[in-house]
Chain A
Amino acid sequence: MQPKDLELVSRYRDGEQRAFELLVKRYQRKVYSLAYGIVHNPEDAMDVTQEAFVKVHRYLDKFQGSASFYTWLYRIVVNLCIDHLRRAGRAYSVEYDDAIDRSQGVLSAMDIVPSRQGTDPRQALADKETLTHISEGLAQMSPNHRAVIMMRELEGLSYKEMAEIMECSKGTIMSRLFHARKRLQAYLLQVLNEEPEESV
Chain B
Amino acid sequence: MSGLDDDTLQRLYDGELDKEEADKAQKAVAANADDAKRLESLSQMRILIRAEAEAAANAADFEGLWPAVAAQIQQEPQPEPSSAARTDPGPDPSLGALARFKTWLGQSMGSHPVRWAAAGVCTVAVAVVLGVLFSSFLKPEGIPAKRSAAKIESDDNVDIEKMEFKGRHPDIFRIKDGKRTTTVIWVYPEDEDEDDNGADAGDDPGSTDPI
Contact A24 B69 (CB under 8 A): yes
Contact stretch, chosen from B42-50, B142-150, B154-162: B42-50
Contact B46 A131 (CB under 8 A): no
Contact A28 B62 (CB under 8 A): yes
B60 contacts across to A, CB distance below 8 A: 32, 36, 42, 45-46
Residue tally, chain B, CB below 8 Å to A: 53
Known: A33-B56, A55-B87, A75-B89. A50 touches B65 (CB 8 A): yes
Within the complex, the shortest CB–CB distance from B68 to chain A, in Å, comes to 5
Contact B11 A107 (CB under 8 A): no
Contact B89 A79 (CB under 8 A): yes
Q: Which of A21, A71, A149, A177 contacts B70 (CB 8 A)?
A: A21
Within the complex, the shortest CB–CB distance from B105 to chain A, in Å, comes to 14
Known: A25-B66, A64-B95, A164-B94. A134 touches B49 (CB 8 A): yes
The DSSP consensus for interface residues of chain B is helix
Complex CA–CA separation, A47 to B87 (angstroms): 15
Measured CB to CB, the nearest residue on chain A to B79 is A58
Contact B52 A134 (CB under 8 A): yes
Contact B69 A62 (CB under 8 A): no
Residue tally, chain A, CB below 8 Å to B: 68
The DSSP consensus for interface residues of chain A is helix
Complex CA–CA separation, A46 to B60 (angstroms): 8
B152 at the interface (CB under 8 A from A): no
**Beyond known contacts A178-B7, A185-B45: 13 more, CB 8 A cutoff:** A24-B69, A33-B57, A36-B60, A37-B53, A42-B60, A58-B79, A72-B89, A72-B93, A107-B9, A109-B34, A112-B41, A125-B44, A181-B10
17 contacts between A and B (CB under 8 A): A21-B70, A32-B56, A33-B53, A54-B69, A57-B76, A59-B84, A62-B91, A63-B92, A66-B92, A102-B7, A107-B41, A112-B41, A125-B51, A153-B45, A154-B49, A158-B14, A178-B6
State the B residues within 8 Å of A (CB): 2, 6-7, 9-11, 14-16, 34-35, 37-38, 40-42, 44-57, 59-60, 62, 65-66, 68-70, 72-73, 76, 79, 84, 86-95
